[in-house]
Structure 1
Amino acid sequence: MTIDPFWVQVNEPTLRQGDYLPGCLVPVPLFDPTTFGTKDNETQEVEVEVNELDLIVLTQSCDLDNKKVNQVVVCTINLISEFEETNPKFATKGKWNEVLTGRIEGLHLLASPTNPENNKEALVVDFREIYSLPYEYVLKHATELGFRWRLKSPYLEHFSQAFARLFMRVGLPSSIPRF
């Protein structure tokens, strides 16, 4: 079975939604939630850990093009094998099919940029791990990567829609009884 490529390779000093940015530095504050912000600790210093993560851009391309944002919204993207290392329950049979069909909120699968026919090389986008990074930093990082992968249409729109679905869910206190 031949799979249409999800990705196109680009080498330009621009950012777009769906840009795959490996090796981004992401600051993560470390603090004790039981003591942070209490009156006794109003001047508490917070340690920051810097992680190197593979990210994908979520911010709309039109906002990036028109420089309407100072921060770029990104989330993590990993190989299935890397994701399973920290989330072993996903190594069980059938779990990735649940993700593929949208039954597990917050996760989205994208075909491998280099080997789309091999689903074991697919990429997992985790919409539950979102970061906001300065526009200038993300642009500089993307430009320094040189050639990088960018989602192409209609896979970009499907990716964007999956992200939107996570946030547009509405839980009702009750509903009409099932038929």
Structure 2
Amino acid sequence: MTIEPFWVQVNEPTLRQGDYLPGCLVPVPVFDPTTFGKNDQIQDIEVEINEFDLIILNQSCDLENKKVRLVALSPIFSLSQFEEANPDFAKKGKWNEVLKGRVEGLHLLASPTNPANNREALVVDFREIYSLPYDYLVKYATEFSLRWRLKSPFLEHFSQAFARLFMRVGLPSAIPPFK
């Protein structure tokens, strides 16, 4: 079975939705209840600098027209990295549930280098979203001679999966099933 590649390599200074940016430095505030003083004002706050592989979530047209100061990104992991932090996903059949879109907030993408090997797939965790400055990411992206970018129609499928997470509506009741 031939699997069409999900990714294309690019070497350009522009950012697009679906750009894969490995090893980005991300400042993450450390919450400590003792940092709050009177009237819940923050006194001092500690910030950790974490390194993540990230994928761009913003629409390409907004990036191209510089309509965003901060770019939204989600972490992207190898299956083994994700399973190490989330052991339930190592269970048989769990990745098939993600593949079918039945696990909220997760999306699978084929490996850029070996799309036919499902164990080399990448998982995007839409449940974590980071914002980094546009200018920082442009500079960071240009440091790579080549980088990966999702191509159509896989890009649109990725975008749709992200949108589904936020467009869910929980109803207090439903029409009873037909018998």
For the aligned pair, the TM-score class normalised by the smaller chain equals over 0.9
CA distance in 2, matches of 1:89, 1:163: 22
Partner of 1:69: 68
Give TM-score, length-normalised by structure 1: 0.96
CA distance in 2, matches of 1:11, 1:146: 6
> RMSD value over aligned CA atoms?
1.2
| Structure 2 residue 52 is the aligned partner of structure 1 residue 53 | yes
CA distance in 2, matches of 1:173, 1:7: 41
Structure 1 residues 76-115: Cα deviation after superposition (integer angstroms, max 9, x where no partner): 0011011100000000000000000000010000000000
Contact 1:35 1:41 in 2 (8 A): no
Written as runs of structure 1 = structure 2, the 5 A alignment for 1:15-26 is: 15-26=15-26
CA distance in 1, matches of 2:131, 2:154: 23
Contact 1:24 1:52 in 2 (8 A): yes
Task: State the 4+ residue runs in structure 1 displaced beyond 2 angstroms.
Answer: 34-38, 40-43
Contact 2:35 2:42 in 1 (8 A): no
CA distance in 2, matches of 1:58, 1:176: 35
CA distance in 2, matches of 1:23, 1:146: 15
Count residues in correspondence.
178
Structure 1: stretches of 5+ with no match in the other structure: none
Structure 2: stretches of 5+ with no match in the other structure: none
Contact 2:35 2:44 in 1 (8 A): no
Contact 2:16 2:59 in 1 (8 A): yes
CA distance in 2, matches of 1:67, 1:173: 41
Contact 1:55 1:74 in 2 (8 A): yes
Partner of 1:172: 171
Contact 1:73 1:130 in 2 (8 A): yes
Structure 1 SS opposite 2:156? helix
